[in-house]
Structure 1
Amino acid sequence: MPTQEERGMIFPTLEKSDEKKKEIKALEDKIESLDAKLKTEEQKEISALKKWA
């Protein structure tokens, strides 16, 4: 049977793991959002260049 101290070492790690997963998911969502914005801007620039060509 693990001591209170040993259990304390295990469970906070699991909690931190969940927090990290949430942080990573939030960052991935942010990256996708920024990537979509960048593609939209690129399309606008390409359209503008085509008008001048």
Structure 2
Amino acid sequence: MNVWARGPMQADFEECIDFNKMRAKLCEKVRQVMEQEGIDALFLWRDENVRYLTSLYES
């Protein structure tokens, strides 16, 4: 974490959400479950599922 605020939306007095860390944990959890269940691939067609697992947003 930075020791000073950069930009209008950051604060130096609290640790904000680390989206990269959160995304990495989610991906690892999904990979573990897929391996345990013998799943080779996921087919995602609902926008909210794609967004949740990949952070991909298409408008």
Tell me the TM-score normalised to structure 2 length: 0.39
Tell me the TM-score normalised to structure 1 length: 0.43
Q: Which has the higher helix share?
A: 1
